[in-house]
Amino acid sequence: MSNKRLLLLSNGSELVGDEPNEFARGAVRDFLGADVRRVLFVPFAAVVRTYDEYAARVRLRFGALGYEVESIHEAKDAPGMVGRAEAIAVGGGNTFHLLRGLYEAGVVEAIRARVERGAPYVGWSAGSNVACPTIKTTNDMPVVEPPSFRALGLVPFQINPHYTDEQLPNHKGETRDERLAEFVHANPGVRVVGLREGTMLRVEGASVGLVGGKPARLFLKGEGPRDLAPEDSLQFLLR
């Protein structure tokens, strides 16, 4: 039986932005619980703002929830810090920059192993994307080149954060559905979950549930896109 515990949010601004909402704060507080006192933050998705600035914001927001935060970019021994972590939070930003930072710090395997041993993992936006087998379903521009698209592989499916099926007037480019249809066509058998804003996936060992008042959208080659409601069983995603 897997001990993995993950909370994967579509959007981090609801948690660490200028106006965090109580729904996201409550979901994280409920997920981490009272046993966790200190959270290890991974700020590598930041590009324009510094890691120090990003870590300071997360310290402020998580501190208000009762958790201390240490940032991996300050570590002299990053893999060792991961191995001792009570919980891990991976922030949003640019997914390519984040994954390159994880490889450069030498913590891809360390994070995977620590989460496998039961450390709770909270990811938002890019932080949710890197929990997947690859980052191929990110929305981000490849501003840097990581050594591989292979990510943490904490779940066996792909996530598309910030998913929307809205179409902008007079926009002639591909829709999000069309781009994800291309992905599943080129990667048969791989499931993609489009996470709408204000929603998140919570994984508890062998169970997974959709949290939030909106459906997610599932993409798989050979099937048309279909919505998954919060009350639906999503256990098939972990197979």
Per-residue confidence at 221, pLDDT binned at 50, 70, 90? Answer: very high
Cα–Cα distance between 216 and 193 in angstroms, integer? 6
pLDDT tier for residue 67 given thresholds of 50, 70 and 90: very high
Angle between the 95-105 and 108-116 helix axes, to the nearest 10 degrees?
A: 90
Which region holds residue 106: left if phi is over 0, alpha if psi is between -120 and 50, else beta?
left
pLDDT at res. 2: 76
pLDDT computed for residue 141 by the predictor: 97
For residue 50 the two structure tokens come to 């510094």
Domains assigned to the chain: 5-238 (3.40.50.880)
Confidence at residue 171, expressed as pLDDT on a 0 to 100 scale: 76
SS3 content of the chain, % helix, strand, coil (to 5): 35, 20, 45
Q: Is the pLDDT of residue 182 over 70?
A: yes
The burial class, CB within 10 Å (0-12 / 13-18 / 19+), for 182 is exposed
Residue length, the chain? 239
Query: Could you tell me the pLDDT band of residue 65, with boundaries at 50, 70 and 90?
Result: very high
One-character DSSP codes across 75-139: -SSHHHHHHH-S-EEE--S-HHHHHHHHHHHT-HHHHHHHHHTT--EEEETHHHHTTSSBSTT--
Cα Rg, the chain, nearest whole Å: 17
Residue pLDDT, tens place only, 123-181: 999 999 999 999 999 999 999 999 999 999 999 999 999 999 887 787 777 899 999 99
97 a catalytic residue: no
Q: Is the pLDDT of residue 5 over 80?
A: yes
pLDDT of residue 80: 97
Examine the pLDDT at 104 and tell me if it is beyond 60: yes
Residue 50 and residue 39: Cα distance in Å, rounded?
Answer: 19
Measured CA to CA, the distance from residue 11 to residue 31 in angstroms comes to 17
Q: Indicate if 128 belongs to the active site.
A: no
Structure confidence at residue 173 (pLDDT): 75
Distance CA 107, CA 146 (A): 14
Pairwise CA distance, residues 200 & 129, whole Å: 12
pTM score? 0.96
At 6, the amino acid letter reads L
Task: Using pLDDT thresholds of 50, 70 and 90, give the confidence band for residue 92.
Answer: very high
In whole angstroms, what is the distance from residue 37 CA to residue 15 CA? 18
Active site residue 140: yes
Pairing of strands 207-211, 200-204: antiparallel
Query: Where does residue 189 fall: left (phi above 0), alpha (psi -120 to 50 degrees), or beta otherwise?
Result: left
One of 2, 13, 162, 232 is an active-site residue; which one? 162
Catalytic member of 10, 71, 97, 140? 140
User: Residue 41 to residues 131, 142, 181: CA-CA distances in angstroms?
Assistant: 14, 23, 33
What per-residue confidence (pLDDT) applies to 153?
98
Average of per-residue pLDDT values in the chain: 96
Share of the chain above pLDDT 70, in %: 99
Half-sphere exposure of 41 (CA within 13 A, CB side): 26
